[in-house]
Amino acid sequence: MVAKRSALINVMVRAAERAGRAMLRDFGEVEQLQVSRKGPADFVSSADRRSEDILRTELAKARPGIGFLMEEGGTIAAAPGEDRRWIIDPLDGTTNFLHGIGHFAVSVALEQDGQIVAGVVYNPVVDHLYWAEKGHGAYLNDRRLRVSGRSALADALIATGVPFKGHGDEAQFLRELAAIMGQVAGIRRFGSAALDLAFVAAGRYDGFWEHALNPWDVAAGILLVQEAGGYVSEVAGGKRPLETGSVLASNTVLHTHLARLLAERPDRAAG
């Protein structure tokens, strides 16, 4: 049975796909720029802004009055009496894009009264469209998604993000990595939190954790995992991952195991 999208999801999908097509054309140019001395960094910045402009224009035209929180453009207040805002990442996985690696996405979420009620994550390179609406499930294109059913850490494939160039707490990450990697089948770092969460929702990854993320990195992905039957919290167990940028996502069984491992201090583990 083909999944039926609401009018709201259709608006989000059209905007994401239009931005994705533009990004795909830019990606072809980036691959050519890899051999230049200057490199593609400046071009990527303009591609990022172009994608955001498309998203903002399309969404504002279809649903005027809704506010915006954007990676590049900052905040645009909603119209009086409007309690919703779009949370947009026009290019999640910028470093991959910069290096000609086709693992990146457009991420669009709709927040209402502090809750994410709809989300879309789109990778134009492989034409994979992940979407979810609160209370209506999560999908990859037209296929219903469910998180992994694995319950043993030894069988689990876990994704994460790695601190870079002064961003994040390297010592904390290394402690957490040491606690996790000896217990699981493997750890992956693919460079796009939005797609990491989408992969958890699809059961490709069994879990994901990362700190110091921005709302636009994870807003749509959090809803995807929740609507696919998974559980999302802060790494330390709090219930405000969108606000704090600390995210642990998995199925309900593995989430408990991963949270316990991530909470261990070296001195406690040694004892």
DSSP 8-state symbol, 106: E
Please identify, in words, the CATH class of the domain defined by 7-144. alpha beta
- Answer yes or no: are the C-beta atoms of 137 and 144 closer than 8 Å: yes
Residue ranges of the chain that CATH labels 3.40.190.80: 153-270
Q: Give pLDDT, residue 42.
A: 63
Q: Give pLDDT, residue 234.
A: 98
Q: Give pLDDT, residue 34.
A: 56
The radius of gyration of the chain from alpha carbons, rounded to an integer in Å, stands at: 18
Residue ranges of the chain that CATH labels 3.30.540.10: 7-144
Q: Give pLDDT, residue 38.
A: 47
pTM of the model: 0.93
Q: Give pLDDT, residue 269.
A: 42
Number of Cβ within 10 Å of residue 174's Cβ equals 12
Q: Give pLDDT, residue 72.
A: 85
Question: Per-10-residue mean pLDDT for the chain, 271 residues long?
Answer: 88 98 90 57 79 97 98 94 97 90 97 97 98 98 97 98 82 95 97 98 98 97 98 97 97 98 64 34
Q: Give pLDDT, residue 30.
A: 79
Q: Give pLDDT, residue 165.
A: 72
* Pairwise CA distance, residues 135 & 199, whole Å: 20
Place of tokens 């879309």: 120
Q: Give pLDDT, residue 218.
A: 98
Q: Give pLDDT, residue 52.
A: 96
Q: Give pLDDT, residue 179.
A: 96
- Answer yes or no: are the C-beta atoms of 192 and 162 closer than 8 Å: no
- Answer yes or no: are the C-beta atoms of 79 and 43 closer than 8 Å: no
* Pairwise CA distance, residues 60 & 49, whole Å: 16
DSSP 8-state symbol, 85: E
Q: Give pLDDT, residue 1.
A: 55
As a CATH number, domain 153-270 is 3.40.190.80
